[in-house]
């Protein structure tokens, strides 16, 4: 990301998320890229066993936090169709990392967040 002119941070932000059960959980996004007031949180999902709880956490996070936060999920191409659209704002295949970096770099920090067509919508 840095080589493409997209500064980023690793696990630099920490959020508290209220789950459907009423319990609070901590969410620490894997990568954070800032474009002015817009935050891109990049979350890799590779492990099928642990991801169900993670997807629930991500969906709850999206319901509770600012629309100026763009939650980007990165998953193997074969898993994208099975991801609930409520768990991300944007989704990319693991082998499309250049597309993610380009997307973040091209976001106008003062402009509107570009709509993302969800594959399952």
SS3 labels along the chain: CHHHCCCCEECCCCEEEECCCCCEEEECCCEEEEECCEEEEEEECCCCCCHHHHHHHHHHHHHHCCCCEEEEEEECHHHHHHCCHHHCCEEEEHHHHHHHHHHHHHCCCCCCCCCCCCCCC
pLDDT score of 9 more than 90: no
Structural domains of the chain sorted by starting position, each given as residue range(s) with its CATH number in brackets:
2-106 (3.40.1350)
Q: What are the pLDDT digits (tens) for 55-108? A: 999 999 999 988 889 999 999 998 898 899 999 999 999 998 889 999 998 999
What is the pLDDT, as a whole number, of residue 2?
Answer: 72
Most distant CA pair in the chain: distance in Å?
42
Query: Which residues, in sequence order, are CB contacts of 86 under 8 Å at separation 6+?
Result: 59, 62
What is the pLDDT, as a whole number, of residue 118?
Answer: 75
State pTM to two decimals.
0.87
What is the pLDDT, as a whole number, of residue 48?
Answer: 52
Q: What are the pLDDT digits (tens) for 10-42? A: 888 999 999 989 999 999 999 999 998 999 999
């Amino acid at each position: 990301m840095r080589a493409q002119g997209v500064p980023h941070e690793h696990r630099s932000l920490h959020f508290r998320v209220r789950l459907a059960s009423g319990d609070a959980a901590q969410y620490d996004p894997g990568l954070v890229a800032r474009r002015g007031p817009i935050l891109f949180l990049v979350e890799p999902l590779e492990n099928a066993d642990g991801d169900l709880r993670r997807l629930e956490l991500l969906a709850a996070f999206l319901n509770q936090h600012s629309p100026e936060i763009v939650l980007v999920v990165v998953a193997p191409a074969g898993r994208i169709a099975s991801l609930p659209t409520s768990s991300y704002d944007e989704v990319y295949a693991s082998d499309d990392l250049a597309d993610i970096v380009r997307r973040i770099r091209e976001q106008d920090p003062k402009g509107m967040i570009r709509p993302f067509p969800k594959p399952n919508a």
